[in-house]
Structures are given as C-alpha cells and as structure tokens.
Amino acid sequence: MTQILLVSPEKNRLNDLESSFSEYKITVQWTNTAEKALLLLAGQKFDLVITHEQLPDMTGRKLVENIIAFNAMLNCVVLSALSKEEFHEAYEGLGVLMQFPLTPGKDEVIKLQDHLDRIRRISDQMKPLKKAGNK
C-alpha cells in the first residue's frame, strides 16, 4: 500500500486530494510544518511527500532539499502557483516528480498514480539486473 505524507498549513484545501487518494487505497498522513514532516520521515516509511511551497517554518524547496539529503529515492510533489517555467527554474536539479496546483483534486491524483505506476514498472524491470550484477 502506498503511504503519502502531505505537508501543508492549509489542510482544508487538500480534502479533495485526500478523498481521491482513498479511492486508490492510498493512505495519507498530514502535517502542517516542515519540522514535523522531517520527524515523521525519520520514523516512518513513506513512498511520497506532497508539500506546499510555502510552509510556516521553511520553503517547500528547502524541505525537498532536506528530504533528498536524507533519502534521495523519496519522491516529492510540490503544491505551487508558479508557472511551469518558474517552477522548473525554482526546483531544477531536485528531482521533484511533479507540480500540483495549490488546490489539487482527482485529475492530479490520476496523473500521479499513472506516474508512480510507470516508476514501479521501471523499478521492477531493473531488479533482475541488480541481482545479476551482484555475482
């Protein structure tokens, strides 16, 4: 089962997102600050972090930087009002999976689920190669 950590000071804006995730049997945990998110990430396993770009204690970009320093394989999505070009400039090189609008809904969940499925298929194809290389 997929575990997602939502990090946003505005939980009400994420109600549609959370209910859409439940349709896919994805569990969601929410927190409102980057500090609490980092504590949760240190103690639990998550498959994905979705963060607002403006948090009370640091920017979403800084949180993503901290996450990839801790676990470079953890996928991140950022809730952002930036244009695609501005978003690319702001998050380039951080491996952010995708940008969501500030109030995401079912369409974004479908796109994300498709993206995660592609990543899993690629990862599954790579596993036999890793085993063969270990001999």
Nearest to 69 by CA among 87, 95, 48: 95
| Domain edges within the chain | 3-133
- Per-residue pLDDT band at 134 (split at 50, 70, 90): low
* Domain 3-133: assigned CATH number: 3.40.50.2300
Q: What is the pTM of this model?
A: 0.87
DSSP code for 96 = -
* Cα–Cα dist 46/5, whole Å: 7
Q: Of 30 and 120, which is predicted with more confidence?
A: 30
